[in-house]
Amino acid sequence: MPDQSLPPILMTSDPGSFAHATIVERKPQIISQVIADNAYPSEIVDALERLRNEIANSPIKPLREAAADVAFWNTELSANYAGRTWLEVPWYFAETYFYRRVLEAVGYFRPGEVGRGDPFQAQKHRQIDDDIRKLAAEWEHLSILEPGARFEALLHSCLWGNRADLSNFTVRVGALGGLAVQQERHLILIDHTERVGDLLSGVVPRVDFICDNVGSDLLFDLALADFLLCQGWAHEIHLHLKNQPFFVSDAMPADACLTIDRLQQAPSAAMQAWGQRLTEDLAAGRLVLETDTFWTTCLMFRRLPPHLLEGVAAAGLALVKGDVNYRRLLGDRHWPHTTRMEDVCAYFPAPFVALRTLKGEIMVGLQVGQAEALQVEDSTWLINGKRGVIHLVVP
């Protein structure tokens, strides 16, 4: 579609919006947490505090370091948003560029031990360990369910596990709610569980996960991947992970490897066996950890580069995880809530399932009047992480 025919983009300048609040409130909180979690030298603390002050008071500044992606980011900034403040730009650009600026402030790309790596590592490791401990109490029960019931529980847990998001301080819902499938099913606004099950049980040689967060989110991705391989419903699983720290809790290959290692040390023999199977699947090439610089840019999925389009097209099904990936599918625009996702996402190269808990002011695929009824019932239904979708789309 030509740009002039598209709905407006979600902007940080939208008055009273969640997008505005994320920049004004959440991003300074994230900087404070990064400072608290890392024993940074004074020059890094000063750089982070300057970034916090810039967000509040100044035009957006370009990157000034020497790194491979600097030309890309500075071109995007100068061509589209030169001279604008953080509250005068598209929401997704502001969020993604914020994380890139944090990496510059801590010296992530500089040689040596300037920032000592991932600035969010302490938070992510705490979440991984806490969520494995919580899951251990439920895993024995889950692992002995018959295949149909186990698939449903795992798919729903892949959805509700996404509630845990370290970049979103406003969502405080229990992250393991997906294990209680029936109790929360009424909160799934679009529920294609049976259709997804029918598709996968017919055997899909390759399934791709476009991943989101560490912790319960990634744990249930790994659990569903293990189930699909064990059942023979898939022969190969590809996890698309971030190439660098992003949105605080987004998973990188190192986070996935750490999670698998921790599973093999879990207090449950069944979880240890699960971790061992995943290790063997990695070695055999049945489970593949992939990453690409595209995943940590400000680009929407409509601009997937040819090599990623070709890779994802090889999948019989892609599971697109989380709120940010949902926004990227839809160009982060104010689509009418009754818009068909099949129409907006006709460009996507494979059938996909959007597994997303609602944490942003964007939603499509609803019935006429459904959004209005939800607004009367709960004025924060779009952003509070309480509801979700399991939306199968065949472009």
Residue 163: band (very low, low, confident or very high) from pLDDT cuts 50, 70, 90: confident
Give percent of the chain with pLDDT exceeding 70.
93
Consecutive H or E run containing 343 = helix 341-344
More reliable by pLDDT, 57 or 283: 283
The pLDDT value given to residue 321: 98
Question: Between 183 and 179, whose confidence is greater?
Answer: 183
d(CA 346, CA 342): 6
∠ CA 234-328-314, rounded to 5°: 30
pLDDT at residue number 169: 43
Q: Regarding beta strands 236-241 and 287-291, do their DSSP bridges make them parallel or antiparallel, or are they unpaired?
A: parallel
Q: What is the pLDDT of residue 124?
A: 96
What residue type is assigned to position 322 of the chain?
A: G
pLDDT in tens, 329-372: 999 999 999 999 999 999 999 999 999 999 999 999 999 999 99
What is the rounded distance in angstroms from the CA atom of residue 21 to the CA atom of residue 14? 10
Neighbours of 394 (CB within 10 A): 12
| Residue 22 DSSP one-character state | I
The amino acid sitting at 49 is E
What is the sign of the dihedral through the CA atoms of 238, 251, 211 and 76? negative
CB-based contacts of 293: which residues, under 8 Å, 6+ apart? 69, 243
Half-sphere exposure of 58 (CA within 13 A, CB side): 8
State in words which class domain 121-393 has: alpha beta
3-state secondary structure at position 300: coil
> Which pLDDT score, from 0 to 100, does residue 77 have?
98
Structure tokens given for 350: 């494979």
Report domain extents, the chain: 3-105, 121-393
CATH 1.10.10.10 fits domain 3-105: no
User: Using CA atoms, how far apart are residues 109 and 96, in angstroms rounded to an integer?
Assistant: 17
Distance of alpha carbon 245 from alpha carbon 45, whole angstroms: 18
Q: How many C-beta atoms lie closer than 10 Å to residue 149's C-beta?
A: 12
- Distance, CA of 67 to CA of 109 (rounded, Å): 7
Is 175's pLDDT higher than 50?
Answer: no
Rg (CA), the chain: 20
| Distances, alpha carbon 340 to alpha carbons 5, 23, 330, 364, in Å | 16, 30, 11, 6
Q: What pLDDT digit, counting tens, does each position of 217-259 carry?
A: 999 999 999 999 999 999 999 999 999 999 999 999 999 999 9
pLDDT tens-digit readout, 285-322: 999 999 999 999 999 999 999 999 999 999 999 999 99
Mean pLDDT for 199-210 is 97
CA-to-CA separations, 357 to 128, 162, 187, 342, in angstroms, rounded: 20, 6, 10, 19
Question: Confidence class of residue 167 from pLDDT cuts 50, 70 and 90?
Answer: low
What secondary structure letter does DSSP report for 213?
Answer: B
Question: Rounded to 5, what percent of the chain is helix, strand, coil?
Answer: 50, 10, 40
